[in-house]
Chain A
């Protein structure tokens, strides 16, 4: 397959592949078991310049964009969807800054993010605000040169390990989604602490934590975009980050598919490799076709994002939804093809099946994605 990658994009893939094979595969089962944060791999990724790939050159990046982010995420996720998320979620936490940050804000934070010295996180979800962002209870009240934050964010990826947080809080609660604003909050700010660390089904090498704000004073210059633009900051961030979730799903699917092919060629039953049975062959054919379709969609959505097109909500949602549904199907089928072996922790596919599930849930559930796609179709329909 020729995806028309540039030489630099091929290098990103090659480096991530080497890191995956040599550094991630030997440790992924252990991280899955312990749920510890994979700092050793994060260090390797930063030394290899991987955190730079999607950031502008003037801030220490390599000048790439969403496609470069997707290539790295896909390749790393093939080896471990959980470890890859330390990188991908940093992308999510950085997009608000990249899209709405002032030159000063970018100059202050991006170089360390590009160098992989600081991870980031994105804090939107709360106990009463999942799909419905309007339910946000965390408040940010103006007080002189500061905003004072109070409230609790839940299930925040990289929570506790990241240094820089993009936080969505209500500056005008009465206005619901229209009364939200975005802030940069640094770890170590007084009144900002970390609560419960979740015990999860999959992506266990990734940390998911509570963020607690108790009279946390954030300087006014840390606001991202204008006051009341928090909802838009979030939605525009998701438009750009969702291809990345698609890429994560795609990588997980590819990893499971390759394990299934290898197993099917080697496992002998009825005196033949199981790959010779049509029942298995058709499953493999469907898996490969769905993966390839998902890949094309993910790359196309990333290219649309990079083209500067303003209307990428629909295709980004399609890429995230289709790739994550594909990952769930493919990983489930990979376990099926491998039978009891697939179900055992001795083989990596049961983990891949657990890791795949989250991609249908976060950054907007796949129901929410379908809603976005439908809304855009209906809107477009008005002009036919």
Chain B
């Protein structure tokens, strides 16, 4: 079974700043981590392999420094790592990113693709479903448990607001996972040694033979108008007094249209 995990390197959220000029995240001098939701995807991929056998590959798109994130994934039990890296990818929005990743995935081969439910920097939750759409395969989002994988099918539980749904799908499939699915392991010493020695395979637009107009800024219809820190909510109004007084005062406010 070929399991592929899509991960993103993101700035550590404990240190977020926005450049007021460009409306983008300030990345210089900010520590980078693997998107926390992707840690659950990695763990689940490794667990599937441990239970059913197969190979786990991790893929990411980004500048060369994303290698560090890919090596960390290897230290957690992933077998191989692939990085889509090319100047032409710079500035890709979720559409272009999911297109590029889907092309990379076609090259690697896959039975199960796992993504975190969303990235903590953009918070869009669009790339996973975007990849499934580009590949024209089924997707199960917000997976909180994989019940079984057999005979080319997967049965999983997906979180919904009122509880969960049990969803069966054929393979290949794309899953996005929530943090309830598992508790990611810590890196092992053997894993870290392997990560240090592993070769990270770099794939460019040329390797993918894709139209560069479909990736990067050119392939990105999204325009970010403005990013800003939302103003702090002001505290609510507190009515004090006896129950009768308070109710009367509240009614008065409602009638005057303040609430």
Contacts and interface: CB of A to CB of B under 8 A. Distances in A.
A99 interface: no
Interface string B56-100: 000000000000000000000000000000000000000000000
Contacts, number: 36
Interface residues of A, number: 18
A116 to B, nearest CB: 11
Contacts of A12: 189
A52 B186 contact: no
Given A47-B186, A50-B189, 5 more contacts: A11-B193, A12-B189, A15-B192, A48-B189, A49-B191
B186 A11 contact: no
Interface of A: 7-8, 11-12, 14-15, 18-19, 22-23, 44, 47-50, 52-53, 62
B13 interface: no
11 contacts: A8-B193, A11-B189, A15-B189, A23-B186, A47-B185, A47-B186, A48-B186, A48-B187, A48-B189, A49-B189, A62-B190
A44 B186 contact: yes
Interface of B: 185-193, 196
Contacts of A15: 186-189, 192
A18 B186 contact: yes
Nearest to A10: B192
A23 B190 CA distance: 20
**Dominant secondary structure at the A interface:** helix
The 10 closest A-B pairs by CB, nearest first: A49-B189, A49-B188, A48-B188, A11-B192, A49-B190, A48-B186, A18-B186, A15-B189, A11-B189, A19-B186
B28 to A, nearest CB: 25
Nearest to B195: A11
Contacts of B188: 15, 47-49
A62 B194 CA distance: 13
A358 B58 CA distance: 47
A88 to B, nearest CB: 17
Contacts of B192: 11, 14-15
A7 B196 contact: yes
A17 to B, nearest CB: 11
A47 B196 CA distance: 19
